[in-house]
Amino acid sequence: MNTAARPFEDQIDVSTQYIRDSIRDAIVDRRLAPGTKLSETDVSALFKVSRTLVRGALQALSYEGLVNVEKNRGAFVAYPSPEEARQIFATRRMIEPGILREAAKNMGPSYFERLRQLLTEEGRLMGERGQTARRAEIKASGDFHLMLASMTGNAVMERFMDELVARSSLVIALYGQSAISSCGHQEHQDIVALIECGDLDRACHLMIHHIDHIEKDLDMRENKGSDLKEAFKL
Amino acid sequence: MNTAARPFEDQIDVSTQYIRDSIRDAIVDRRLAPGTKLSETDVSALFKVSRTLVRGALQALSYEGLVNVEKNRGAFVAYPSPEEARQIFATRRMIEPGILREAAKNMGPSYFERLRQLLTEEGRLMGERGQTARRAEIKASGDFHLMLASMTGNAVMERFMDELVARSSLVIALYGQSAISSCGHQEHQDIVALIECGDLDRACHLMIHHIDHIEKDLDMRENKGSDLKEAFKL
DNA sequence: GGTTATAGGATCGTATACAATTTGACCAGG
DNA sequence: CCTGGTCAAATTGTATACGATCCTATAACC
């Protein structure tokens, strides 16, 4: 699942794709802080490839909204503004009910089994402590929504959700409070239960409420103390 | 509005962006047929730039789904399969009701004025004949949906719709019948009227029906005679 | 001392060069 | 005539070279 962080990197086909995935994982996992400069030279040295491939990867990431490239200045890990964050969650509220209804059409026993498996894993992670566990929890939380998207069997929509979830993870990592809302997991379970009951209207309603809940739990004041200069650049 | 096809090309800043827009316009306008090979050398000669910039433009277009890049084989104007076309329209049905509801929240008199202006132009085009007029009509039809998306004030969603409309245009150009459904324009008008009445439920319902209508008017049989080999490649 | 001018280094943007892969033609063999 | 294989041309993939822009430190001037 994790495309980066494999051993024996030298033996692996190091391509633009690989670099892109590695950087994306690092951003979503918050190993790369928002605003960090991604120097072409540095990255190319790190992966032992030419700048050509790195530029391709950075450009691709900018299309996904995870990296901002500024002409003649370089690429930076995205530092989504509160407004941008709001738009991301607003977009999710607009499309996820549709995804839920579409996925429900294809729901068979095996799909419910996969969902339950994911929820079990998610619950297990919530019991743990530490930063690593928290990262895994954020990731698992996103995976639930991604799995629903994949169950639509619609690749176009799935790609949109990939992007939205990745950007959401970045936003949560940025503006998330230390006190994690533990109700997210419960809401996931409730949504699955409602789908299983066939009560899609209430499931959709809860989904919107759930996304709203995630957003409301963020502390989206401008400039969280540190990178003041970022706010005034450009 | 049309970013390409400007006079005095030599004096304009010919960048990756410009090449990308030019090719996209050509694809959406169907001046470039689906399946056409976009040789890096040829395109670079055409725009009098190096292959580097062309590669960037082609890669960008592949993210938008308008171009397929096959490793070591080159870039081709997308030839969306019927399945892919179905997914595009399915995605639109999933998200456009959400857009409509969100846009309605911001609707003031000036927005309705802009919509009506667009509809007038659309109606004017329907009276005309010829291939040019038909292209303009397809474009205008997409512009209606794009305008609604822009009225959400949500840049993230707007970008998704940009992509979906562009790909839809390609699909319509590919699988569209000679007999154009003239009810699309009427449905646009009805949707606006329903929004103005405040009857969003019916407006959403009609929107879904409208998208469905566009899709149903296509003749999506595999292999429209010509490119048989495309169907079996990769 | 503070401000502006300027020079140097660092970084990005574009073009070009070279390596790797594909493609299509030609030819030998069945 | 068809099949299969080999080689050359064409095209893409990647690396490198060079020019342009930006940032910073230093110094001159007010």
Q: Which range is least confidently modeled, A81-90, A117-126, B80-89, B101-110?
A: A117-126
Structure tokens at B83: 């399945």
pLDDT value of position B30 = 86
State the fold for domain A12-77. Answer: Arc Repressor Mutant, subunit A (1.10.10)
pLDDT tens profile A32-46: 999 999 999 999 999
Average pLDDT over residues A1-29: 73
Per-residue pLDDT averaged across A1-6, rounded?
A: 43
Q: Let me know: does B121 contact B140? Beta carbons within 8 Å.
A: yes
> Picking from A24-28, B122-126, B199-203, B208-212, which range would have the lowest pLDDT averaged per residue?
B122-126
Q: How confident is the prediction for chain A on average, in pLDDT?
A: 88
Q: What is the mean pLDDT of residues B140-164?
A: 96
Which fold is adopted by the domain B82-216?
A: Four Helix Bundle (Hemerythrin (Met), subunit A) (1.20.120)
The DSSP code sequence of chain B is ---SS-S-GGGS---HHHHHHHHHHHHHTTSS-TT-EE-HHHHHHHHTS-HHHHHHHHHHHHHTTSEEEETTTEEEE----HHHHHHHHHHHHHHHHHHHHHHHHH--HHHHHHHHHHHHHHHHHHH--SHHHHHHHHHHHHHHHHHHHHTTT-HHHHHHHHHHHHHHHHHHHHHB-SS--THHHHHHHHHHHHHHHT-HHHHHHHHHHHHHHHHHTB---S--SS-HHHHH--
Q: How confident is the model at residue A224 (pLDDT cuts 50, 70, 90)?
A: very low
Judge whether B10-77 and B82-216 match in fold: no
Which of A11-15, B116-120, B212-216 has the weakest average pLDDT? Answer: A11-15
Q: Which strand D bases fall within 7 angstroms of a protein CB?
A: 11-17, 21-23
DSSP bridge partners of B176: B218
Among the listed residues B55, B30, B27, B31, the one whose alpha carbon sits nearest the alpha carbon of residue B43:
B55
- A9: DSSP letter: G
| Residue A8 pLDDT exceeds 60 | no
Residue B37 phi/psi, 5° resolution?
A: -80, 135
Tell me what pLDDT residue B138 has: 83
Q: Is A95 on the interface with B (CB under 8 A)?
A: yes
**pLDDT above 70 (res B234):** no
Minimal CA separation from B154 to chain A, in Å: 6
Q: Given a cut of 90, is residue A162 above it in pLDDT?
A: yes
Chain A CB within 8 Å of residue B98 CB: yes
CA distances A172 to A32, A138, A160, A228, B159, Å, are: 14, 8, 18, 19, 22
B95:A95 CB<8 A? yes
CA dist A215 → A86, A153, A168, A219 (Å): 8, 27, 9, 9
The pLDDT tens digits for A53-77 are 999 999 999 999 999 999 999 999 9
Gap between the Cα atoms of B151 and B106, Å rounded: 7
Q: What is the pLDDT of residue A182?
A: 65
| Alpha-carbon separation of residue A51 from A22, A62, B30, B83, B217 (angstroms) | 16, 16, 35, 38, 48
Q: Which position has the higher pLDDT, B231 or A169? A: A169
Spatial distance between the Cα atoms of B74 and B62, rounded to a whole number of angstroms: 11
CA of B72 and C1' of C20: distance in angstroms? 9
Residues of chain A with pLDDT > 70: what percent?
Answer: 88
Nearest protein residue, CA measured to C1' of D23: A73
Q: Does B164 touch chain A (CB under 8 A)?
A: yes
pLDDT value of residue A40: 97
Please list every residue in chain A whose beta carbon sits closer than 8 Å to the beta carbon of residue B90: 102, 152, 154, 156-157
Q: Span A168-185, mean pLDDT?
A: 81
Residue B119 amino acid letter: L
**What tens digit of pLDDT does each residue of B68-120 get?**
999 999 999 999 999 999 999 999 999 999 999 999 999 999 999 999 999 99
Question: Residues whose CB falls within 7 A of nucleic chain C?
Answer: A 37, 39-41, 51-52, 55, 69, 71-75; B 15-16, 49-53, 72-73
CA distance A148 to B44: 42
- The answer on pLDDT for A30 being more than 60 is yes
Distance in angstroms: CA B72, C1' C21: 6
Q: Look at residue A127 in the predicted model and tell me its pLDDT.
A: 81
Q: Is the pLDDT of residue A195 over 50?
A: yes
Write out which nucleotides of chain C lie closer than 7 A to a protein Cβ: 11-17, 21-23
Three-state SS at A228? helix
B66 interaction partners in chain A (CB closer than 8 Å): none
CA dist A111 and A125 (Å) reads 22
Backbone angles phi, psi at A34, to 5 degrees: -55, 140
Q: Please tell me the distance from the alpha carbon of residue B218 to that of residue B85, in angstroms, as a whole number.
A: 10
Out of B87, B90, B102, the one facing A90 most closely (by C-beta) is: B102
First to last CA, chain A: 37
Q: Which residues pair with B218 in a beta bridge?
A: B176
Inform me whether the pLDDT recorded for B233 exceeds 50.
Answer: no
Angle at the Cα of A36 from the Cα atoms of A35 and A39, rounded to 5 degrees = 130
Question: pLDDT band for position B8 (50/70/90)?
Answer: very low
CA distance to A7, A31, B41, B44, B234, per residue, from A59 (Å) = 26, 20, 22, 20, 26
Average pLDDT on B212-216 reads 94
A63 contacts B63? CB cut-off 8 A:
yes
Query: In a mutagenesis test of the B interface, which of A156, A168, A207, A215 is the best target, namely the one with the most B β-carbons within 10 Å?
Result: A156
pLDDT band, very low/low/confident/very high, at A135 (cuts 50, 70, 90): confident
- Sorted by where each begins, the domain ranges of chain B are 10-77, 82-216
- Residue A63 CA to residue A22 CA, distance in Å, equals 16
Architecture of domain B10-77: Orthogonal Bundle (1.10)
Average pLDDT over residues B17-33: 94
Distance B85 CA to C6 C1' (A): 60
The residue that leads in pLDDT, A100 or A177, is A100
Whether the per-residue pLDDT at B53 is higher than 70: the answer is yes
Q: What is the pLDDT of residue B177?
A: 80
How distant is C1' of C2 from CA of A69, in Å? 35
Does pLDDT of A161 surpass 50? Answer: yes
